[in-house]
Amino acid sequence: MRRSIWAVGAVSAVAFTAAAHAETITIATVNNGDMIRMQKLAEDFTKNHPDIQLEWVTLEENVLRQRVTTDIATKGGQYDVMTIGNYEVPIWAKQNWLVALDDMPDGYDADDILPAIRSALTYEDKLYAAPFYGESAMVMYRTDLAEKAGVEIPDQPTWSDIQKAAEAMTDKSNDVYGICLRGKPGWGENMAFLTAMANSYGAAWFDKDWKAQLDSPEWKAAVNDYLTMMNDYGPPGASSNGFNENLSLFQQGKCGIWIDATVAASFVTDPDESTVADKVAFAQFPNKEGVDNHGNWLWSWNLAIPTSTDSEDAAKQFIAWATSKDYTKLVAENEGWRAAPPGTRTSLYENEEYQKEAPFAEMTLNSMQAATPDKPSVQDVPYTGGQFVAIPEFQGIGTAVGQMFSAALAGQMSADQAIQNAQQLTNREMTKAGYPK
């Protein structure tokens, strides 16, 4: 008995000592399905790294961006790992705010990362963030509603095709809305969608001299068509809907068409979460007739390390685990290949099991490969970025403009007033920032 008590006590003492000497890293991340899944599976990491404990800060997308931007700019040191987009990576790397990830552990295979994503996360030939998942944007639609309405959505639809289908699918008496699009304000919320849509209409944020072009005929056409679709065929309260809200509506069977990030495909086809899982098909992001541009959306959520961390080595070990091929296999073992984080590794799209289980794999890859963020507009422009403008000032400008367009969607101002306000604000802020530089 005494020996048993002593043995238990000894084990407890060892466990206590290990815990007492464990290094804690704080991870700031976004509250979407893939990141929540990562937290659930993180026991695999802590089991193999008992000397590292994880503390999670999970935030809504707009709040996450505000918090991590403030922390890194002030060198606050609240977070050891940050979830950031490919918008921030090159800008923050240039400021020496991020730790380079050019010495990842053996077997990580950075060469397997899709070229477009790796390029977006590279500054001066060094990788400064590791992609957790990558995405473009595409059309997701209900095949049963399309068939019932007698409409067809081609693989490469035009906006006229989308508007026609949305009108035909709308059945508001039964809480079915023809189309669901982002309306929540934010440079990465409604303005990600509206910038991609405007690009597909032939619009541009700026001309070659950095003068705002938001009052151009192309922007006006895109914004007016967006508001018409949302007011006539969209759900109520759409000005508050972002990615997560529209995902929920689609899964509940309340949307005929949803145009958003390709990463949503695994969730809308998940029979455990989606009531319409077996009734979903996919198409490329639309273009305006006569304009050869399907939006150019290219995004990745990435894990990066701020230079203010005191736990660089532990943070690198976590990032290497979370963005590895082995993590992808771990997800597949627990939830099937369909749930694997998409859009980051070439090997995933060469995997026959993934191709078999994920009906959206080919369209996702095609959409990402079709994106040309180095040439976001058919016009000659001085910036890159796809669904955003890759300059530091865009975060503030995009959010302010997003608030105006969200107000127009809510009926608080006219489309013309929102466009004029957006044009004036953008020019004012760009002049204040010293453009052209």
Q: Shortest CA distance to 304 belongs to which of 112, 135, 130, 116? A: 130
**Average pLDDT of the chain, as a whole number:** 94
Please tell me the distance from the alpha carbon of residue 314 to that of residue 106, in angstroms, as a whole number: 16
Please give the helix or strand (H or E) that residue 39 lies within, else none.
Answer: helix 33-41
Would the CA dihedral through 371, 378, 215, 416 be positive or negative?
A: negative
Q: Please report the DSSP string for 123-146 in residue order.
A: ETTEE--EEEEEE-EEEEEEHHHH
pLDDT tens for 154-172 read: 999 999 999 999 999 999 9
Neighbour tally for 414: CB within 10 Å: 12
| Beta bridge partner(s), residue 122 | 127
Residue with tokens 């509506």: 249
pLDDT at 22: 83
pLDDT tens for 271-326 read: 999 999 999 999 999 999 999 999 899 999 999 999 999 999 999 999 999 999 99
Decide: pTM greater than 0.75: yes
Q: Is 310 exposed, middle or buried (0-12, 13-18, 19+ CB in 10 A)?
A: exposed
In the predicted model, residues of the chain with pLDDT beneath 50 are 1-19
pLDDT at 106: 86
